[in-house]
Amino acid sequence: MKLKEGFMLRQVAGSWVVVPAGRACVDFDGMISLNDSGALLWRTLEQGGGRAELISALTDTYEVDPVQAEQDLDEFLEILRQANCLTE
């Protein structure tokens, strides 16, 4: 899985948002708000991180066990799928 081209993570007024750019604007109208852990996962995906790296990013940064990190990751990925931001 990886992020589709045309989406950018930006910090606006202290909040993390994902916004479309270029051709992505045609298919996606709006933005996605992310918390700090969502922004961490987005940046890890941008760097080509896979499932293991995403879980590790959460467990290394936050006090969360691997099982909870995996559940949180699945929820995050589902949000991105519904927004059509991921390629499988």
Higher pLDDT: 3 or 22? It is 3
Report pLDDT for 16. Answer: 96
Contact between residue 58 and residue 69 where contact means Cβ atoms under 8 Å apart? yes
For helices 36-46 and 51-61, angle between their N-to-C axes, nearest 10 degrees:
140
Domain ranges of the chain: 2-83
Report pLDDT for 34. Answer: 95
Residue 42 has pLDDT above 80, yes or no: yes
CATH, range 2-83:
1.10.10
User: In sequence order, which residues have a C-beta less than 8 Å from that of residue 19 and are 6 or more positions away?
Assistant: 7, 8, 10, 31
Residue with tokens 């940046």: 43
Contact between residue 42 and residue 10 where contact means Cβ atoms under 8 Å apart? no
User: In sequence order, which residues have a C-beta less than 8 Å from that of residue 88 and are 6 or more positions away?
Assistant: 1
Report pLDDT for 29. Answer: 62
Residue 26 has pLDDT above 70, yes or no: no
pLDDT band at 23 (very low <50, low <70, confident <90, very high): low
